[in-house]
Amino acid sequence: MKKIKKIKDIQIKRAQILDLIRDFFKKRGFLEVQTPILTKDISTEPYINPFSVQFSDDRDRTYHGYLITSPEYSLKKLLAQGFGNIFEITKAFRQKEALGGLHNPEFTILEWYRIHANYRQVMKDTEELVCYLVKKLYHHLYLFYQGKKIDVSLPWPRISVKQAFKKYVQINLDKTKNLNYFKTIAKEKGYRIGPASGGVNWNDLFYLIFLNEIEPQLPKDRAIILYDYPLPQAALAKKKSKKSFYAERFEVYVGGMEIANAFSELSDWREQLKRLKEDQILRKKLNKEVIEIDKTFIQALKSGIPLASGNALGIDRLQMLLLDIKDIDELLPFPAKKMFNS
């Protein structure tokens, strides 16, 4: 009975957090919307693995679609229709990730889009949202997570990805545009660069160094914003300038846990189409399903969307931080790890 009570208490607190998130955005004039979870087309992003779905209608006609990995495409289509500032809380699905820890194949995501804004305004939204939740729940601007005190008071420290590579691993990221240089640096650091299918690519090297050496060194006692990611890491983000190697993208870490990914939205349909085709080529090299490009998404960009910036925030991870829960399996009443391994 104690275990059941604990599970119920956690769900009550999770519901309270969702109410507070909705309250935060509605007070700021955002419209809550609902978009499909089952869609015909989906993101071509090479390092995200969607669930493929097949179903039939009453005449036994067969259709193929996907469970969304994010509501991003649908929300941008609404921006193109003139919806203005919008947000959505929905379920999303991703395969080939660990079960438990920070991952569950079905998870809850918050996305919001602010028009006539760039990523710096959305940085401010993110800071204010987290501060609002912590203040409402605990009446001060810090929280305790797994024995660590985490300060979320403003302003949050910010560091560019270029600065992080220089500070933590003494690498000049500008020079990594030369893939051979990047490979040499990785080998010198002791990484085994094997003959992966299609050859090792820039993103492989970035992840090796970033996940193993930089992410673990980010502050554990603060919320921090890591911004201006290199273009290979920013498929849907706007470039900082025409010839820049960097894009207006940022991620948010709280107590060392990554909880959000955001950027100034790319609105140039030609550039977006070019990047999606590059995604398809990379997916093929990685021996993954080559996903068709969503023509209605490109058409929405052609019709014109306003200057906008958006953020995708993992609600489950945020709730874990706010409720001092280490493993997502303790947060969810029906975690996939327990359902499918029982």
Amino acid at 168: Y
Residue 192 lies in a domain: no
Residue 274, classed as helix, strand or coil, is helix
d(CA 257, CA 314): 11
Residue 197, classed as helix, strand or coil, is coil
d(CA 301, CA 234): 17
pLDDT at position 149: 98
C-alpha torsion angle, residues 45, 234, 304, 33 (rounded to 10) = 70
pLDDT at position 193: 81
pLDDT at position 234: 87
Task: Take residue 24 and report the two structure tokens written for it.
Answer: 């935060």
- Tens digit of each residue's pLDDT, the chain (342 residues): 556 669 999 999 999 999 999 999 999 999 999 999 999 999 999 999 999 999 999 999 999 999 999 999 999 999 999 999 999 999 999 999 999 999 999 999 999 999 999 999 999 999 999 999 999 999 999 999 999 999 999 999 999 999 999 999 999 999 999 999 999 999 999 998 865 444 688 999 999 999 999 999 999 999 999 999 999 998 899 999 989 999 999 999 999 999 999 999 999 999 999 999 999 999 999 899 999 999 999 999 999 999 999 999 999 999 999 999 999 999 999 999 999 997
Residue 239 lies in a domain: no
In the sheet that holds 38-39, the strands lie side by side as 38-39, 62-67, 51-56
Residue 32 lies in a domain: yes
Q: Over the stretch 302-322, which tens digit does the pLDDT of each residue have?
A: 999 999 999 999 999 999 999
Amino acid at 132: Y
d(CA 324, CA 140): 16
Domain count of the fold of the chain: 1
- How far from chain centre, in Å, is Cα 303? 26
pLDDT at position 172: 97
d(CA 256, CA 221): 8
Q: How many CB atoms lie within 10 A of CB 57?
A: 8
Residue 60 lies in a domain: yes
Residue 205 lies in a domain: no
Range of the domain at 88: 2-153+261-340
pLDDT at position 194: 66
Beta strands in the chain (DSSP E): 31-32, 38-39, 51-56, 62-67, 86-93, 106-115, 142-145, 148-151, 158-160, 223-230, 246-254, 257-264, 308-314
pLDDT at position 200: 82
Question: Tell me, what CATH number does 335's domain have?
Answer: 3.30.930.10
Q: How many CB atoms lie within 10 A of CB 182?
A: 23
Q: Are 247 and 230 in contact (CB under 8 A)?
A: yes
pLDDT at position 196: 47
* Burial (CB count <10 Å: 0-12, 13-18, 19+), residue 178: exposed
Residue 228 lies in a domain: no
d(CA 89, CA 294): 22
d(CA 196, CA 209): 17
Q: What's phi and psi for 52, nearest 5 deg? A: -90, 140
Residue 297 lies in a domain: yes
Task: Take residue 142 and report the two structure tokens written for it.
Answer: 């810090």
C-alpha torsion angle, residues 135, 15, 115, 38 (rounded to 10) = 160
pLDDT at position 2: 59
Distances (CA, A) of 260 to 70, 190, 310: 12, 30, 10
Task: Take residue 47 and report the two structure tokens written for it.
Answer: 């390092």
Amino acid at 247: A
Residue 39 lies in a domain: yes
